[in-house]
Amino acid sequence: MYRRTELFIDGRWTAPSTDAVIEVVSPHTEQVIGHTPAAAAVDVDCAVTAARTAFDRGPWPRVDPAERIAAVERLAGAYKQRRAEMAELISAEIGAPIAFAKRVQAQLPLMAMAAFTKVAAEYPWSESRPGFYGKDIRVTRQPVGVAAAIVPWNMPQFLIVGKVVPALLAGCTVVVKPAPEAALDALLFAEIVAAADLPPGVVNVVTGDRDTGAHLVAHPGVEKVSFTGSTGAGRQVAMSCAEGLKQVTLELGGKSAAIVLADADPAATATAIRMASLANSGQVCNALSRVLVPASRATEFVGALEAELAGLSVGDPSDPATEIGPLVAHRQQARVREYIEDGQRQGARLVLGGSSMPEGTDRGWYVRPTLFADADNSMRIAREEIFGPVLTVIGYRDEAEAVDIANDSDYGLAGAVFTADSDHGQAIAARVRAGSFGVNEGYIMDPLAPYGGVKASGFGREFGREGLDGYVVSQSISQAIGA
């Protein structure tokens, strides 16, 4: 049992104002495995005050960027020492297969930190340019202020690092609010922050429910909000930020399409789509959940996908052989099952899987890997984000129709094209409205590349230089001629 009784505020462990707790439940056993504090509004106020004081009066925003880079490098060193512990904790919390947790969940944060320090070392913190009137203009990039990082449960550490580290490098101070399902690993991250010896108040971590997050977003002491989560919640965050005239980055839902061209290899394509769509048991926002195949070769591509999915090992996430674990919560299991049943009612052909429990399991929030064929893009399973191990295959007549189907979505987060001609794949990618795209791969998030969506998938970018841009404001300084 993991028992956490304190919040991390102003560089020290602090007792919460109430006895309210969050119960963290194992998706595999359905048993409580830990408790964390449920922060009240007054606790959020204390965290924001600490961040505000550290920004307004502390050294952090004013030190040389090289010192902030060195601090993030210390953070990476402290994180590396505990990454195995982090992987096991994430697996226990959200049901991520332990092999995936070790290889991806606990490793990507280190890659992201290395990428951001590289970006920061090359970043134009100050530059001069000639002004229109003949005088020199100096443009500096200054930290935006106190940032709120609202993080979901599916890739918790990667997304914490993706928000906190660029904010730190820019000179901001931060208050982190994790999802309740992944509250334990956020407090372990706070321990790592403490070991990195950052100034008090620069990073604060408060655990709580939706009301906790809403109070943080609306807090007048916060100047920037970075939110990753559902589109519905993102709309509420955007409205709150508009009311407070705050800068905001929203990375929201997706319904990404894999456009499979007629010259693609069925087996290789099926493997790539499986890796891109069913990682973390399908609980990733950029999953290639719509698979668009030429109608003339649909039987081949559907057969290859069926063979790929049928061989997946489903079960205990602590088993290194497990490839598909449980979904994060009972509500998520019920939601995914309802989509599967609705797909059948609407006329899609169930090729594999379904809403029943996987063979050999009698507990846990599992859903079998599920494949639909003969679907239409108007069906709910093709239009709404399911967030589970469900793929929907849609046939098309020609490439123009394939692009039209890919773009016929409320979302625009990611996508991919599979073809023997990579130059042609690049041309197809340019026609699809998506923030990120892969050619002959399921889109792999590169921490040196900007990541984010269009349409209902949000706005703003994380990672790459653009991720650092989101935490700075420019200041122009001009000098009169002859002065």
- Which residues lie across from 3 on neighbouring strands? 35
Do β-strands 290-294 and 257-260 pair in parallel, antiparallel, or remain unpaired?
parallel
Q: For this structure, is 466 an active site residue?
A: no
In whole angstroms, give the CA distance from residue 204 to residue 199.
11
The closest of 417, 410, 422 to 396, measured between CA atoms, is: 417
Residue 228, strand partner residues = 251
Sequence-distant (≥ 6) Cβ neighbours of residue 190 within 8 angstroms: 8, 176, 203, 205
338/390 Cα distance (integer angstroms):
12
Q: Residues 46, 93, 285, 323: which is the catalytic one?
A: 285
Which residues are CB-neighbours of 358 under 8 A, at least 6 positions away? Answer: 314, 315, 366, 368
Rounded Cα distance between 234 and 220, Å, is: 19
Record the pTM. 0.96
Residue 68 · residue 171 · CB < 8 Å: yes
* C-alpha distance across the termini of the chain, in Å: 68
Q: What is the pLDDT of residue 482?
A: 58
pLDDT of residue 91: 98
Q: Are 173 and 198 in contact (CB under 8 A)?
A: no
Q: What is the pLDDT of residues 47-59, one digit of tens each?
A: 999 999 999 999 9
Query: CB-based burial of residue 134 (10 Å sphere; 0-12 exposed, 13-18 middle, 19+ buried)?
Result: exposed
Domains of the chain (ranges; CATH) run: 2-252+458-476 (3.40.605.10), 257-447 (3.40.309.10)
Look up residue 124 and give its amino acid: P
Helix, strand and coil content of the chain, in percent to the nearest 5, comes to: 40, 20, 35
Helices 156-170 and 108-121 pack at an angle, to 10 degrees, of 20
For residue 59, what are its two tokens? Answer: 């050294």
Share of the chain above pLDDT 90, in %: 94
Backbone phi, psi, residue 225, to 5°: -125, 130
Rounded (10°) CA dihedral 180, 185, 190, 193? -140
pLDDT of residue 135: 79
Amino acid making up residue 453 = G
Considering the candidates 93, 181, 251, 308, report the single residue annotated as catalytic. Answer: 251
Say which residues have a Cβ less than 8 Å from residue 299's Cβ, sequence separation at least 6: none
Q: Helix H segments across 206-329?
A: 210-218, 231-244, 266-277, 298-310
Contact 202, 60 (CB under 8 A): yes
Assess whether 46 carries a catalytic annotation: no
**Whole-angstrom distance, CA of residue 211 vs CA of residue 40:** 8
Per-residue model confidence (pLDDT) at position 481: 63
3-state secondary structure 369-418: CEEEEEECCCCHHHHCCCCCCEEEEEEECCHHHHHHHHHCCCEECCEEEE
Round to whole Å and give the CA distance between 348 and 380: 10
Q: How many CA atoms lie within 13 A of 166 on its CB side?
A: 32
CA–CA gap between residue 259 and residue 438 (Å, rounded) = 10
Positions of the chain with pLDDT lower than 70, given as ranges: 443, 481-483
Which has the closest alpha carbon to 290: 196, 386, 216, 357? 386
**335 alpha-carbon distance from chain centroid:** 20
Tell me what pLDDT residue 209 has: 96
